[in-house]
Amino acid sequence: MIEIDAVSKSYDGRAVVRDLTLTVPAGALCVLLGPSGCGKSTTLRMINRLVPFDSGAIRVNGEDVLGVATETLRRRIGYAIQSTGLFPHWRVADNIATVPRLLDWRPERVRDRVDELLTLLRLDPAIYAGKFPHQLSGGEQQRVGVARALAADPDILLMDEPFAAVDPITRDALQSELARIHQATGKTIVFVTHDIEEALRLATVIAIMERGRLAQLGTPLEIVEQPASDFVRDFVGVQGIGLKLLSVRRVGERVRRGETAAGAAIGAEASLADALGAMIARRADRLPVADERGETVGAVTLADLVR
Amino acid sequence: MLGTAVKTPALWVGVLFAALLVGMPALSPLFAAAFPGIRPEIFDRAAFPELFLSHLGLVAAASAAATVTGVALAVFVTRPAGRDFRTIANLLATVGQTFPPAAVLALAVPALGFGPRPTIVALFLYGLLPILENAMAGLDGVPGTVREAARGMGLSPWQILRDVELPLAAPVILAGVRVSVTIGIGTATIGSTVGALTFGTPIFDGLAGNKLPYVLQGAVLVALFAIVTDLLFALLARRLRVPGA
């Protein structure tokens, strides 16, 4: 759990974050969303004290971040950034091993952990462990960046626009990966982005920021259906609101239990937008739906999507 | 074996240099034929290996001091605490380089006496600028995202410097040391005017005594010394290269 309590920060008299109060519950994937300059990245970087704050308090798992040595604090919190910041002179395995080595893990334990993480990020350890960052594609580098942030198994992960620099197809794959990892590990994740689609897709809770203040805090559905202000409504976008609703609602909400349909099943966790896409691709108006164990639980029809 | 030697010029230029260093007296018939009437044909006030060791010692001492000072200064002025001193450090190094080594020698002799010491001082001052400038450029060239990631993961400032910044800046720093040392080898010859033993000794003796063979012998050896050193640095540079750069 992360508690941000009445925190303010200004640079040279210009307020960047104003009296911000925000609690990220344990296990949440909280997206800090807003236009550039709204203070979202500064807020993220105050949590691991890369940016000192002027007033207020930040607590991580109940502990005041100012009460811990900065390096100790940062080694407990995973951190991934845009364009990865991978060390170009270290191999993939050494990059991932950075924090475990700082924490003096035994070499065998470090090696096992690196293999485990590469496998989790769907990179074959036999192929990737010995490569240098420049030998990887942008998407692979980003995966290694995420693996490195997860290396010491931190409860909390901070991600600063981690997928902003990759192409749309790779970004899509990385977002799915992150959603999967979030579900599998139950980490508390704070994720900064200016991309509303990305926020709707990943977040369990969205904090929209406007000029250093919290404009609205809510689930993706609440943000889209009940914007708290004109700013939020404009930012989320009036146009394409229907499609956005499709992307925040889950297939599981509309499933006709017990019914069946032909073809490969779609997951109950998939969005309605994914279901619509699959129907169009297959020229079908009915899809079978499977639960997380892969067992078919029912079907969803085209009409259900617009209900 | 032969293939390796051809591909590694440091090896055969090194062998040539070593052969001339110890075998120069064997060439006396050649010099006798080319410069009749000059006796002895080969410079003999000191043995060439002795000149080499003394020359090497002077350059090594001055370059080691310049490298330590230059890199330390560059590290200092690229930290938040030292940023204000950057202009001054640069200015001092530039003055050191523009001041002719001969003038430094002339000024240093009254303070330090004749012999190797004023030469080391002159070489140190002359060699500082390329090292300082390259070290600053190398440290500046470390990508901001890499430094940010290192901080975010909890590396201490010292660990960031040692494990991230210096290894990434090493190729650029090394290029500065290479320039500094190679120039230093040539410049060290003037140390012989104030009593240091270098390959400049036969050159200045030859000029003073109108004995061209001595000038030739000193000049060829100092040139080969500089070339071998430069080639060795090229080998080292290949090892320090950052992957993908």
B7-51 pLDDT, tens per residue? 788 889 999 999 999 999 999 999 999 998 888 889 988 999 999
Q: Is the pTM of this model over 0.80?
A: yes
CB-CB under 8 Å, A79 with B244: no
Q: What is the per-residue pLDDT for B5?
A: 67
Q: How far apart are CA B120 and CA A51, in angstroms?
A: 46
**Token match 């639980």: residue?**
A297
- Asked if residues A180 and A173 have their Cβ atoms less than 8 Å apart, the reply is no
Q: What is the per-residue pLDDT for A240?
A: 66
Q: How far apart are CA A171 and CA A177, in angstroms?
A: 10
pLDDT surpassing 90 at residue B53 = yes
Q: What is the per-residue pLDDT for A272?
A: 87
- Asked if residues B134 and B173 have their Cβ atoms less than 8 Å apart, the reply is yes
CB-CB under 8 Å, B168 with A88: yes
**Token match 């030998």: residue?**
A135
Average pLDDT over residues B168-187: 95
Residues of B within an 8 Å Cβ radius of A = 143, 145-156, 159, 164, 167-168, 242-245
Give Cα separations from B179 to A152, A260, B53, B147, B220 (angstroms): 43, 76, 21, 28, 20
CB-CB under 8 Å, A89 with B168: yes
Q: How far apart are CA B119 and CA A305, in angstroms?
A: 86
CB-CB under 8 Å, A84 with B243: no
Which residues in chain A are contacts of B155 at CB distance < 8 A?
71, 98, 102
- Asked if residues A196 and A239 have their Cβ atoms less than 8 Å apart, the reply is no
Locate the DSSP E strands across A211-252: 213-218
pLDDT single digits (tens) B117-148: 999 999 998 899 999 999 999 999 999 999 99
- Asked if residues A120 and A110 have their Cβ atoms less than 8 Å apart, the reply is no
Tokens of A117: 């993480």
Locate the DSSP E strands across A130-279: 156-160, 188-193, 205-210, 213-218, 256-257, 266-267
Q: Nearest CA of chain A to the CA of B141: how many Å?
A: 13
**Token match 């001339």: residue?**
B20
By C-alpha distance, the chain A residue nearest B168 is A89
Name beta bridge partners: A14: A11
pLDDT surpassing 60 at residue B175 = yes
CB-CB under 8 Å, A73 with B151: no
Q: Nearest CA of chain B to the CA of A76: how many Å?
A: 9
Q: What is the per-residue pLDDT for A192?
A: 96
CB pairs under 8 A between A and B: 71
Q: How far apart are CA B106 and CA B211, in angstroms?
A: 26
- Among B142, B151, B153, B162, which would you mutate to test the A interface (most chain A Cβ atoms within 10 Å of its Cβ)? B153
pLDDT surpassing 60 at residue B79 = yes
Report which secondary-structure segment, H or E, holds B137: helix B116-140
**Is A75 touching B (CB cutoff 8 A)?**
yes
Each residue's pLDDT, cut to its tens digit, for chain A (307 residues) gives 999 999 999 998 899 999 999 999 999 999 999 998 899 999 999 999 999 999 999 999 999 999 999 999 999 999 999 877 899 999 999 999 999 999 999 999 999 999 999 998 889 999 999 999 999 998 999 999 999 999 999 999 999 999 988 888 888 888 988 998 898 889 999 999 988 888 988 999 999 999 999 999 999 888 888 889 999 988 887 556 677 778 878 888 888 888 888 888 888 888 888 888 888 888 888 889 988 888 888 898 888 887 7
CB-CB under 8 Å, A75 with B145: no
Residue A251 burial (CB count, 10 A): 25
**Token match 């004023």: residue?**
B118
pLDDT surpassing 60 at residue B221 = yes
Q: Nearest CA of chain B to the CA of A180: how many Å?
A: 23
Q: Nearest CA of chain B to the CA of A87: how many Å?
A: 6
Q: Nearest CA of chain A to the CA of B157: how many Å?
A: 10
